[in-house]
Amino acid sequence: MSGGEVAGILVAVFWAILVSFLAVALARLAQTLRATTKLVADVTEQAVPLLADASTAVRSAQTQIDRVDAIASDVQEVTSNASALSTTVASTFGGPLVKVAAFGYGVRRAIGRKAAPEAGEVPTKPSRRRTVIVGRTVPSARQKKRDTRNKRD
């Protein structure tokens, strides 16, 4: 065997090993492609119903939003009507009611002045005037002390 023949055998063995590695790589690539194809098919099977459900949910949400929009516009109309009614009632009855209240207050004061004792008369029963201060009631004796303190300040 000459050197050329040995070199030819080495090249042939090298090519055989290279072809073997390429064959294994192609076999694994084919297996990976089959698994990927199966995975894509499974995802497609599950995705199509999910997309249909999502589309139905979006349509339902749109219907509900339309209903809420209609309700909101009705509430806005009722609010404006109530405001107009309130303004009308206030302008119609407000003035006369204030006048009646003022008249009643004046009558009460006039009756209270007539019922009050004259300057020379002594009241038969001392009045128990109380004042509410921050949620408490202060008897009239303490009130007089408080009034004198406030006058000094």
Contact predicate 72/80, CB 8 Å? no
User: CA 53, CA 59: separation in Å to the nearest integer?
Assistant: 10
Average pLDDT of every residue of the chain: 83
Cα–Cα distances in angstroms (integers) from residue 106 to residues 21, 32, 39, 99, 102, in the given order: 115, 101, 93, 10, 6
Mean pLDDT of 9-15: 93
For residue 134, what is the DSSP state? T
Its pTM surpasses 0.75:
no
pLDDT digits (tens, 9 = 90+) for 92-117: 877 888 888 889 999 998 888 877 65
Angstrom CA distances, 141 to 117, 128, 130, 131, 137, stand at: 21, 9, 9, 11, 12
The pLDDT value given to residue 112: 84
For residue 118, what pLDDT band results from cuts at 50, 70 and 90? low
CA distance 3 to 129: 136
